[in-house]
Amino acid sequence: NAGVMQNPRHLVRRRGQEARLRCSPMKGHSHVYWYRQLPEEGLKFMVYLQKENIIDESGMPKERFSAEFPKEGPSILRIQQVVRGDSAAYFCASSPDGTNYGYTFGSGTRLTVV
């Protein structure tokens, strides 16, 4: 039973390009959360999604960032026109039912903007 799979593990983008980060939840999990970890900081919540629905996006920057979790396929975190300040580790977590019992994190995608 594979865990939460994130890819790519490392992503380098030039300023102004787009970054797409993928997250495949654990089998049977239909709730996905995205977090961002800036250097020397803890993780900050970004967005909570269920299949085809955004439940809570209170942590998402207002511009350039979007997330989706389609009926089929992985959840995608998309960052348009990246800037150096977007450089961070992005972690995805999944849960079978949105409760705190089965929260599992992936290994993260480390985005570097050059």
Nearest approach, Cβ of residue 16 and other proteins (Å): 27
Give the total of residues touching other proteins (CB under 8 A). Answer: 25
- The reply on whether position 91 binds other proteins by CB under 8 A is yes
Nearest approach, Cβ of residue 105 and other proteins (Å): 4
Give Rg (Cα) of the chain.
Answer: 13
CA-to-CA distance for 78 and 34, rounded, in angstroms? 11
Residues linked to residue 33 through DSSP beta bridges, in sequence order? 48, 93
Is residue 49 within 8 Å of residue 67, measured between CB atoms?
yes
- The reply on whether position 39 binds other proteins by CB under 8 A is no
Q: H or E stretch including 21? A: strand 19-24
Identity of the residue, 13 or 36, whose beta carbon is nearer to other proteins in the bound complex = 36
Query: Where does this chain bind other proteins (CB under 8 A)?
Result: 4, 6, 33, 35, 40-45, 48, 56, 59, 91, 98-101, 103-108, 110
